[in-house]
Structure 1
Amino acid sequence: MPQDLATLTDALLSAAKSAGADAADAIAVQGTSLSIDVRGGALEQAERSEGIDLGLRVLIGQKAAVVSSSDASPDTVAEMAARAVAMAGEAPDDPCIGLADPGQLARDWDTDALELHDPAPEPSPSDLQEAATRAEAAAQGFDGISQVQSASAGYAARQVHLAASNGFSGGYGRTDTGLSVVAITGSGTDMERDYAGESRIHAADLPTPEEVGILAAERTLARAGARKPPTGAFPVLYDERISSALIGHLLAAASGASVARGASWLRDALGAQVLPKGMSLIEDPHRPRVSGSRPFDAEGLPTARRAIVDDGVLMGWTLDLGTGRKLDMPSTANAARGTSSGPQPSVTNVTLSPGTASRDDLIAQMGTGLLVTSMIGASINPTTGDYSRGASGFWVENGEITYAVNECTIAGNLRDMLVRLTPANDARPHLSRVVPSLLVEGLTIAGS
């Protein structure tokens, strides 16, 4: 039976105060998830989980401790508080910890406007199985597809409530429905695979199962006969499927947690050019029906739109209260947390300025080089930005795709790479990270 999360978080705060805490905050998460896998048109696996998780952070002076539990009974709540207070007494002092001042807290928000919860009924297992079966059949119907490795459909719903002894209390719900297919072409050492996957907050926004299956098959068949590319310095085009990973390295380096530790290759770049002039990276936590949206952060501060990079210039770090205090800056309301950890800075939704050219235009522009559609592994030096990643995709000659590529490595330095980006215009607007295909000149490719 669903429990009242606000009541549970209030009980945690009361128990913490009774146990001797000076201040505390609590988070309660209640969720349901359902996943279905099919193979060969038959059900292969079905999983369903329901549960509740509680997290409590207590502060005693400048000491803090976090405890969590999946048991919401009154005895467990009291035990959590006593354990947390005992742990905090043994913790080292941290001059930067502390809850938000009451005047900083979010007061008015409209979760309905964010449309984070699908009002449609939870899908039945048979509904999800049918979707996965249809997607599998669509992929398997292509000549050259030797097998469909997996076809999966899933649904998740959760409610989150956060409360703190500074007076904050708020919560919201979130849903997600997804569908994915992995297909294989060839056999033995000539086997190649690719996939297609889609997820949406509202199930009505999903493409049809047939569209997902067809896309998986087309991507897989295009990979037939993959081989290593030549070694040398060439332009590299990051396909929209994976280009957000490149921007993700910038976001990680702009995290206040990394900067405060001195472990960021952007630590001296505030106010400097980090992207080409004319290109901006905007965070907007209030986009409707987008997975990264949220009305307030994990410390109860109101979230707001901001420019991380404006006209190519790095405008600020991503901060929660603690890292902001370490850097003598105000929080950017980017705190995130789970039930078993305290707040840490984390971005929500970001959008990178698009270009005017299509991906095909950039392929023609690059002449000879590599189009990357998937990546594996990473070796990133957090302090220098030196970059090396395994990649696969397609080799381009004379502005045209000539053959599929696997087993190669691309390398460069992120600080140099990001200021040489050329964006396409193909970003998908429903994603939390709206990033188009990105062309980077002069990377080192290690192939045959």
Structure 2
Amino acid sequence: MDDPEKILKYGSGKADETEVYYARGRTISADLKRDKVSAAVESQSAVLTVRVILQGKIGTSSTNDPGRWKDCFHAALDGAHLVSAQPWKGLPDPVLGDPAPLAFDPDLPMDPQTVQDLLGELKAGAASYKDVEITSGSAELSTGEILLMNSSGITYRRPVTSVGVSLETIREQSTGYEFDHSVYFDIDAGSVGEKAAELAHRSHGGKDIPSGEYEVVLSPIALAQVLGAVVVPALNGRNVNAGRSRLAGHLGEQIADSSLNLLDDPFRPRAPGSTRWDAEGVPTEPVHFIRDGILESFCYDLKTAYRYDTRSTGSAVRGGPGGAPSIGHHNLVLDGPRGPLLEDSVLYIRDVVGAHTANPMSGDFSVELSNPFMAKDGDFELPVRKAMLSGNAFDMLNDVVRISPETRSVGSMILPSIRLKNQKIIVN
């Protein structure tokens, strides 16, 4: 983009405040259809988002053509004229000292051969199981930069990189899926391919189990589904103050097992969401939602904080490169008592289907299990054919036995596997 500062100069006198968010990137990706490359793409993108504030009225507009920044500015200004005013205390001032990025790999090899090599490693890993076929897969490399400027004097830049691979496999009617993503070029694509094939292989010939209460282990993937559908929205300050959160009015109370901690850690080393400033330029900070089982905090962006007379927790994120700021988290981390999870008999749940149908107010959910196994003394002894997990996500926080020593990134969450007692399993 040619001199984004001219947008701020242009906005002076036309709006009380102006914010410019510019994201550009380059991506190289390829897809597998069965075990053949079906598509390979190299692309470049640029998205400009302008936000203006006029007498407490906020307007936002985006464009994929930064050369049309003036049209974008006026679209944001027109939008501001159409909305109601709200309490507003100003965009943040520049306060950051250390500009060094927290999540960036300067040595990421951005070339088609690297993508091809990653696909080859996926296929080689899956070949460990001869009775399993690949149905689809992908590998992607991306690099870019995010620029945030505002009329209060902020000019923040953050380089970004990412690597991602995934593979889906099948053995007759049994499927397996595995993925990995990272900011750094440290992905083991061969292990991803082998795990995807192993899941399809081991899930074959599933048996029914009786309905009843079980001790269960949720993998990080299954745990992320439940937390993301129910617990994360309940910690959103906007939902809390609008009466759409079961946790409203419970600050300072015990809502989880006394050994459990849940926090947003924006400074976690090598984590995908690590950043020194949020999507509005507010300095980030660790936000301890649950500490020793006690509900300690909710999260806020500027707009919601001003509306409810509190402070931003540096929790503003963008839903996409062209999205307006909204409340979210950077690296949601769960911590607690760690130890082995699969000793004696337990139902291991790899993934769940239908978490989006959970009731975010009550926390009640009923989800179909994906790749479940009965495990004993560390071994997956029996694949389970079909079953459902029914319960309450908030009550689940009090049913924790322990969590695994290992964690993995699932989107913007960094989670362990978790063992829970007294979980209701329904088999039709």
| Residue 114 (structure 2) aligned to one of 127, 131, 137 | 127
- The 8 Å contact of residues 375 and 382 in structure 2, kept in 1 or not, is answered as no
Q: Indicate the residue corresponding to 2:9 in structure 1.
A: 14
Q: Indicate the residue corresponding to 1:279 in structure 2.
A: 260
Alpha-carbon distance, 1:320 to partner:
1.0
Q: Indicate the residue corresponding to 1:69 in structure 2.
A: 63
Q: Indicate the residue corresponding to 2:353 in structure 1.
A: 376
Is structure 2 residue 344 aligned with structure 1 residue 353?
no
- Change in Cα spacing, 1:299 to 1:387, as seen in structure 2 (3 Å) is same
Alpha-carbon distance, 1:390 to partner:
1.9
Is structure 2 residue 194 aligned with structure 1 residue 250?
no
* CA distance in structure 2 between the aligned counterparts of 1:148 and 1:430, rounded to whole angstroms: 24
- The 8 Å contact of residues 386 and 413 in structure 1, kept in 2 or not, is answered as yes
- Change in Cα spacing, 1:174 to 1:266, as seen in structure 2 (3 Å) is same
Is structure 2 residue 178 aligned with structure 1 residue 201?
no
* CA distance in structure 1 between the aligned counterparts of 2:84 and 2:155, rounded to whole angstroms: 28
Alpha-carbon distance, 1:397 to partner:
7.3
Larger displacement relative to structure 2 (393-402 or 247-256):
393-402
* CA distance in structure 1 between the aligned counterparts of 2:363 and 2:32, rounded to whole angstroms: 42
Deviation track 1:174-206 (CA, whole Å, cap 9, x = no partner) reads 1011222211112xxxx1111222222121x22
Alpha-carbon distance, 1:398 to partner:
6.9
Deviation track 1:400-437 (CA, whole Å, cap 9, x = no partner) reads 64422244221112221111212222332666533222
List alignment gaps of at least 5 residues for structure 2.
none
* CA distance in structure 1 between the aligned counterparts of 2:375 and 2:166, rounded to whole angstroms: 32
Letter in 2 for 1:78: K
List alignment gaps of at least 5 residues for structure 1.
none
Is structure 2 residue 91 aligned with structure 1 residue 100?
yes
The count of residues paired between Structure 1 and Structure 2 equals 423
* CA distance in structure 1 between the aligned counterparts of 2:365 and 2:231, rounded to whole angstroms: 12
Q: Indicate the residue corresponding to 1:58 in structure 2.
A: 52
* RMSD, matched Cα: 2.3
1:322-341 equivalences under 5 Å are 322-337=303-318, 338=320, 340-341=322-323
- The 8 Å contact of residues 55 and 67 in structure 1, kept in 2 or not, is answered as yes
Q: Indicate the residue corresponding to 2:290 in structure 1.
A: 309
Letter in 2 for 1:386: D
Is structure 2 residue 210 aligned with structure 1 residue 215?
no
| Residue 109 (structure 1) aligned to one of 94, 98, 103 | 98
1:176-195 equivalences under 5 Å are 176-186=162-172, 191-195=173-177
Deviation track 1:204-223 (CA, whole Å, cap 9, x = no partner) reads x222x332222222222111
Q: Percent identity?
A: 25
- The 8 Å contact of residues 106 and 296 in structure 1, kept in 2 or not, is answered as no
Deviation track 1:111-146 (CA, whole Å, cap 9, x = no partner) reads 24x1x222225432132113202321331342321x
Alpha-carbon distance, 1:268 to partner:
2.4
2:395 is paired with a residue of what secondary structure?
helix
Q: Indicate the residue corresponding to 2:372 in structure 1.
A: 394
Q: Indicate the residue corresponding to 1:411 in structure 2.
A: 390
- The 8 Å contact of residues 106 and 300 in structure 1, kept in 2 or not, is answered as no
* CA distance in structure 1 between the aligned counterparts of 2:165 and 2:25, rounded to whole angstroms: 19
Larger displacement relative to structure 2 (328-337 or 234-243):
234-243
Alpha-carbon distance, 1:45 to partner:
0.9
* CA distance in structure 2 between the aligned counterparts of 1:316 and 1:40, rounded to whole angstroms: 47
| Residue 300 (structure 2) aligned to one of 319, 324, 339 | 319
- The 8 Å contact of residues 99 and 299 in structure 1, kept in 2 or not, is answered as no
1:360 is paired with a residue of what secondary structure?
coil
Deviation track 1:218-273 (CA, whole Å, cap 9, x = no partner) reads 22211111244432333332123432333433222111121122111111221111
* CA distance in structure 1 between the aligned counterparts of 2:308 and 2:81, rounded to whole angstroms: 26
* CA distance in structure 2 between the aligned counterparts of 1:347 and 1:312, rounded to whole angstroms: 19
- The 8 Å contact of residues 260 and 326 in structure 1, kept in 2 or not, is answered as no
Q: Indicate the residue corresponding to 1:236 in structure 2.
A: 216
* CA distance in structure 2 between the aligned counterparts of 1:415 and 1:428, rounded to whole angstroms: 21
1:225 is paired with a residue of what secondary structure?
coil
- The 8 Å contact of residues 29 and 160 in structure 1, kept in 2 or not, is answered as yes
Q: Indicate the residue corresponding to 2:28 in structure 1.
A: 34
- Change in Cα spacing, 1:398 to 1:202, as seen in structure 2 (3 Å) is closer
- Change in Cα spacing, 1:221 to 1:425, as seen in structure 2 (3 Å) is same
Alpha-carbon distance, 1:33 to partner:
1.3
Letter in 2 for 1:110: P
Q: Normalized against structure 1, the TM-score is what? A: 0.88
* CA distance in structure 2 between the aligned counterparts of 1:284 and 1:36, rounded to whole angstroms: 32
Alpha-carbon distance, 1:340 to partner:
4.1
- Change in Cα spacing, 1:233 to 1:299, as seen in structure 2 (3 Å) is same
Q: Indicate the residue corresponding to 1:80 in structure 2.
A: 72
Deviation track 1:350-390 (CA, whole Å, cap 9, x = no partner) reads 322242321223xx2xx4x5321011112221222222222
- The 8 Å contact of residues 267 and 275 in structure 2, kept in 1 or not, is answered as yes
Q: Normalized against structure 2, the TM-score is what? A: 0.91
Is structure 2 residue 407 aligned with structure 1 residue 428?
yes
Letter in 1 for 2:8: L
Alpha-carbon distance, 1:321 to partner:
1.6
